[in-house]
């Protein structure tokens, strides 16, 4: 079992290497040696080994016998992993990451809201309305930390309430998106009144079982989100993932 100290060192090593790879300081094809990483990070070989395993699981690196640890190109990374998302949001690729996430959410969340109106348990419907009302209060008062917590919970409930486990497993990605917008100063001090109302509209529609209105209100939220964030990704390239020829 890892001790608290070794866990901290492991976390530091993963963050250090992950941010440098995703940020482009360690470009695709760059080769690292475990012994050099030990010296650079001032950690043991076991800590380096565990950190590399994490980075391998994210698709950021591969280990090659008698060569070293090679950085992989961006199209090999796991774009759904919250760590990769957080690191991209912290770097020069922030706009492109926000674009990808906004487009993903606009494709999924309106459908999730529609499904939640048909399928969500009564307890979820009630909680969703309570949270939407609390979001309105927090937004109007400018209590952004509380608003963020409520916003994350709101969208998590919509995804989970859809009854589609694949949608529900996007909660981590949505959480990183909403958190990243706040951390990087991309949220207004007071959310727009219309956006607060649209969240209430989603909650009311899901509560009453009106699938069409739930989807429509959710789509309004996503269109407004894209309009707000679009300036951040102007001129940023897209990632085209090669398709295997079989």
pLDDT tens sequence across 19-62: 999 999 999 999 999 999 999 999 999 999 999 999 999 999 99
Least confident of 107-116, 169-178, 201-210: 169-178
CA distances (Å), origin 180, targets 81, 175, 192:
14, 8, 18
Per-residue pLDDT at 4 = 58
Same domain, 133 and 44: no
Per-residue pLDDT at 245 = 80
Question: 242 in a domain, yes or no?
Answer: no
Give the pLDDT confidence of 220-241 residue by residue, as tens digits. 999 999 999 999 999 999 888 8
Residue range 137-151: mean pLDDT, rounded: 96
Per-residue pLDDT at 15 = 95
For the chain, helix (H) and strand (E) counts, in that order, are: 11, 3
Instruction: Give the strand pairing for 31-32 and 61-64.
Output: unpaired
Residue after which a domain boundary falls, among 32, 53, 76: 76
Same domain, 69 and 93: no
Per cent of the chain over pLDDT 90 is 87
> With 50 as the cut, is the pLDDT of residue 1 above it?
no
- Do the Cβ atoms of 1 and 39 come closer than 8 Å? no
Q: What total number of domains does the chain contain?
A: 2
Same domain, 55 and 121: no
CA distances (Å), origin 4, targets 10, 47, 52, 189:
10, 12, 19, 38
| Residues spanned by the domain of 152 | 82-232
Same domain, 52 and 128: no
- Do the Cβ atoms of 29 and 70 come closer than 8 Å? yes
Here the tokens at position 168 are 């529900």
Per-residue pLDDT at 172 = 93
The most confident of 8-12, 74-78, 157-161, by mean pLDDT: 157-161
Could you tell me the CATH number of the domain that includes residue 43?
Answer: 1.10.10.10
Using a CB cutoff of 8 Å and minimum separation of 24, what contacts does 163-169 make?
A: 163/115, 163/116, 163/119, 163/120, 164/112, 164/115, 167/108, 167/111, 167/112, 167/115
Per-residue pLDDT at 3 = 53
Could you tell me the CATH number of the domain that includes residue 162?
Answer: 1.20.120.530
Chain centroid offset of residue 40 CA: 30
Question: 238 in a domain, yes or no?
Answer: no
């Amino acid at each position: 079992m890892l001790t608290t100290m070794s866990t901290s060192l492991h976390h530091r090593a993963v963050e250090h290497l992950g941010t440098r790879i995703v940020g482009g300081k360690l470009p695709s094809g760059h080769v690292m040696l475990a012994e050099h990483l030990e010296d650079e990070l001032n950690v043991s070989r076991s800590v380096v080994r565990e950190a590399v395993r994490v980075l391998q699981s994210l698709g950021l690196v591969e280990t090659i016998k008698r060569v070293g640890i090679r950085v992989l190109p961006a199209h090999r990374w796991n774009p759904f992993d919250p760590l990769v998302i957080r690191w991209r949001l912290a770097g020069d690729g922030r706009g492109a990451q926000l674009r990808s996430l906004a487009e993903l959410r606009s494709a999924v969340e309106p459908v999730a809201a529609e499904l939640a109106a048909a399928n969500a348990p009564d307890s979820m419907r009630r909680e969703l309305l309570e949270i939407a009302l609390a979001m309105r209060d927090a937004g109007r008062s400018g209590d952004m930390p509380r608003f963020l917590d409520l916003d994350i919970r709101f969208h998590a409930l919509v995804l989970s309430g859809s009854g589609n486990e694949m949608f529900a497993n996007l909660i981590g990605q949505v959480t990183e998106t909403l958190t990243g917008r706040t951390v990087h100063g991309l949220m207004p001090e007071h959310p727009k009144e219309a956006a607060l109302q649209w969240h209430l509209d989603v909650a009311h529609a899901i509560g009453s079982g009106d699938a069409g209105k739930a989807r429509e209100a959710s789509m309004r939220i996503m269109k407004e989100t894209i309009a707000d964030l679009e300036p951040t990704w102007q001129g940023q390239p897209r990632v085209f993932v090669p398709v295997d020829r079989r």
